[in-house]
A = this chain, B = another copy of it.
Amino acid sequence: MFTRRSMMGSAMAAGLMASPLDAAVRFNRREAGFDITLGAGVVTPIFVDAADLPGVRRAAGDLAMDIGRVTGTDAGIMGAPLSLPARVIIVGTLGISPLIDRLAASGKLDVSAIRGQWEAFTLQTIAHPLPGVAEALVIAGSDKRGTIYGIYDLSRTIGVSPWYWWADVPVVRQSHVRVSYGRYVQGPPAVKYRGIFLNDEAPCLSGWTTEKFGGMTAKFYARLFELLLRLRANYLWPAMWNNSFAEDDPDNPRLAQEYGIVMGTSHHEPMMRAHKDWTDRKAHLGNGQWNYATNREPIRQFFREGIERNRDHEVVVTVGMRGDGDVALASSGDLQSDVALLETIIADQRGIIAQGMGRPADTVPQVWVLFTEVYKYYDAGLKLPDDVTLMFADDNVGNLRRLPLPSEKGRKGGFGIYFHMDMHGGPFSYQWVNSSPLPKIWEQMNLAHEYGANQIWIANVGDLKPLELPIEFFIAMAWDPAVVDKDRIAHWTRAWAACQFGETHAEEIAFLLARYAKYNGWRKPEQLRPDTYSLENYQEAERVCAAWDELMRRADAVNAALAPDQRDAFFQLVLYPVRACANLTNLCVAAARNARFANQARASTRLEGEEVRRRFHEDARLRDAYNHTMAGGKWNHMMDQTHIGYFDWYPPEANIMPAIADVDLPEGAAFGICVEGSARSWPGYYLPPALPPLDSITRRPTWLEAFARGTQGVTYVVTADQPWVQIREDRAFGVSPSDRRYWIDADWAKLPAGTSQATVTLRCRQNGQTIAVTLTALRATPSQEIQAQDTFGGLVGAFTIPVTAYRRSVPVNGVRWESIPDYGRFAAAMSIFPVDAPSCADPSRSPRLDYDLFLGETGDYHIDLVTSPTLEVIPGRRLSVAVALDDQAPVIATVFTPENGPAEDFLGARHPANTAGGARTMRVTVHADRPGRHVLTIAMVDPTLVLQRIIVAKGEPPASYFGPADA
């Protein structure tokens, strides 16, 4: 028999959802255990007391069908304990199911770990639990949802994904299903209320539900409730874009209660009323104004109805008031009078709650959400009743705006978090596919957890699909943060992939899932522009396209290897986003080339325009495949969201093809060139072309490209006037087969130390025209070579330091820099742990990282710290970090200075760019008083700063999105 502890260990190894069952369910009979399959199409029946809660009995019915999905035979359900068979699954809720209580009382069922807990459950195999019963698998919950979660835990572990319907994940048929003998315990969850908010639901979810369910009806919500319970979520803010949960279908609230879903309303819809409830009837409500100062009694009546109709329902009531619709409250005069008005509103609401619910207000869960402008009322001193949960919001893009202060802790209502994985609004909308990498979600929600905002976690998930993965991650983390520790995210993702697609391809699919979100985190797809990635520096656009193309190649390979019945699920969960995002990136880069090539008067400008058009049609084709072909059109409209052509925060009315230019080409043979590092072309620009210098330490080749500028094709002879110049012809970056790239490198053995110069000459075979390009090569001296060993940097040029490549990490008092694997733009990021360590004003005594550098010259160097766009989560903590070169005094970089803070803050001037790319660059300048080897130290000042990369440059580094490529 396994103890809980040992099971937890194995659960942690298994990852997903922290279920101890993961390792206990066997699809063979090699080890002893409780058989769910009994052979010859017979399966073990399920007992659930007819007097148990309807939601529990309904879930038991699901289990019966799930067993059928796995085995081919639905399990029978027995409601009376009179004639139980020899082998039975017994389901019930402690304190409600007499049989469960009897087993507990008898000592055969150990409920010590769950009794009195919130949403806990145990699964136990019990030999001879009752007379005539040889063995039973007992699923007992501490409460209604505890039991339900236990039921679905078994469903999932026997092979029914929570997404079996919502993502068409096929259930693998099993002849044998056996649960190892033992006791498996789960719960209580770390976060009491864990849920999602269906939002921004047009055109996708609205169109789909209208077509499939005739709207947001109970048929739709029943499907959703089941999913939420299978995910161990318990809380829902229903769709509210011209939708009213309670009024669109009166069965909705009733079913929520039956299923066991705790209902709320969104942050701006108080008192269990949809905004649509208001707009539908405001003409008849007093003066029709959503203004508590001018239309108080009608609004109170409106509130009253919302509470009264939920008298018997489990709810978390949103309190407070914003404006008419998802906008700010109309001011009553000044901030203090607004605060006073809000305090009155909340006090009145609590009176209505107490009266409507028939019990003291402080026994009814309530939440006040500090969304957008609502913060200011709290900052201005609004007094909130202690039992109301204070919910902090993120910045709409997954960066928390606020965490509980030590002085605020202990409030009875605790703290919650309103998080976004989808946004319709500022700083920009992102409503298409997943662009929230799990490590980023983890990093921010880990702050919430560690700082004590654990009462409610709710995520805005847009249309729900295609955010299946981050939704489940968010809920799993809310259930038990320990199992999705930063070093286990990849593991969790692999387990998730295995749950949907089996073990064979799980590793690869997890890679694909993580990578596509990571790449979308480089730049939100909606915020991709043709000029996002540099064409001239670091081959940046090429490398980004290559990364996406490689991802697509691998996704296609998995797709080909999967069973046919897995392909619908694979398409929606993996293949569509990978292909569509790869296509979109290539589309944007082709548009960039089209524009650049036009500027360079390339004949291939037109080919790039055609490529843009082709990719634009491909995007529509992929969308149509999702909507119409996949799963027989089951998800029609779910991919209706426009995503190409954002010109402000609002989604475009149609996908807009990036504009394509054309050039007026002369007849005949003409050619031009461009060189790495420059957008210019020659012949033309008055300053002669020069290649970036070659460096014997960094040893990167450089390149130039040659291309036709007339209607006739041209070819070139490329020569150099020095024997050490190496030239290799390649295809240019672009779709033209005839544009050429020439890689230029040095045969260092032929070069002396110091600076050498050469001229590379291109001659056009067709018209005899020549262009000479200057090349410089810097060869290190032997002493420089020794100094540069195992360092970053070189003789010349900007360079990059991967943050995990420190020579030394120095912890102080248990506080240290640790890596967050796969976080952000690069392979890993570094941050301070524990995340709630106190700030350290003296960076000479704080945890630090030392990096070895080689600097080619004396002089000032910019140290650009690419950090995450962390906000001022603890008011007054300015988010500083210290940088020092060698033994020089540290230079402190600070984000939230009085001057720059407003721009860096939520909806500040730099917020859109920070969040579109998930990065904020902090610059300090240091002085190297000699060339050669140096030590760069990054020392903590404040926790919560996340360091993604260090870029070092003398002067302004060449323009690019990521900075210099890795060495």
Contact = CB atoms under 8 A, between A and B. Distances in A.
Contacts of A616: 662, 664
A650 B683 CA distance: 13
B663 A656 contact: yes
A620 interface: yes
B659 A661 contact: yes
A664 B659 contact: no
A658 B656 contact: no
Interface residues of A, number: 35
Contact of A665 (B654, B658, B661, B665): B654
Interface stretch (A281-289, A511-519, A593-601): A593-601
Interface in A655-688: 655-666, 672, 681, 684-686
Which of A601, A620, A659, A709 gathers the greatest number of chain B CB atoms within 10 Å? A659
A297 interface: no
A98 to B, nearest CB: 54
A378 interface: no
A140 to B, nearest CB: 49
A652 interface: yes
A652 B605 CA distance: 14
Contact of A657 (B599, B652, B661): B661
A583 to B, nearest CB: 13
B653 A709 contact: yes
A660 B663 contact: no
A613 interface: yes
A623 to B, nearest CB: 9
Contacts of A601: 652-654, 656
A659 B655 CA distance: 16
Given A620-B664, A664-B616, A599 B652 contact: yes
A246 B697 CA distance: 51
Contacts of A645: 598-599, 661, 663
A239 to B, nearest CB: 16
Contacts of A2: none
Given A599-B647, A650-B685, A661 B661 contact: no
Contact of A659 (B600, B659, B665): B659
B598 A656 contact: yes
A828 B292 CA distance: 56
Contacts of A686: 650
A917 B619 CA distance: 41
Contacts of A666: 654
Given A599-B652, A647-B599, A663 B657 contact: yes
Contacts of A655: 663-664
A664 B653 contact: no
A684 B647 CA distance: 14
Contacts of A663: 645, 654-657
A645 B664 CA distance: 11
Given A599-B647, A645-B598, A647-B599, A654 B664 contact: yes
Interface string A305-320: 0000000000000000
B595 A653 contact: no
A659 B660 CA distance: 4
Interface string A894-908: 000000000000000
Nearest to A596: B647
A620 B666 CA distance: 10
A91 to B, nearest CB: 47
Interface string A635-658: 000000000110100101111111
A646 to B, nearest CB: 10
A659 B650 CA distance: 22
Contacts of A647: 599
Interface of A: 594-595, 598-601, 613, 616, 619-620, 644-645, 647, 650, 652-666, 672, 681, 684-686, 709
Given A598-B657, A660-B661, 13 more contacts: A594-B659, A598-B656, A599-B645, A601-B654, A613-B662, A650-B686, A653-B681, A653-B684, A653-B709, A654-B664, A654-B666, A657-B662, A657-B663
20 contacts: A598-B654, A598-B656, A599-B645, A599-B652, A599-B653, A599-B656, A600-B653, A601-B653, A616-B662, A620-B664, A644-B664, A650-B686, A653-B684, A654-B665, A655-B663, A656-B663, A657-B661, A657-B663, A658-B659, A659-B660
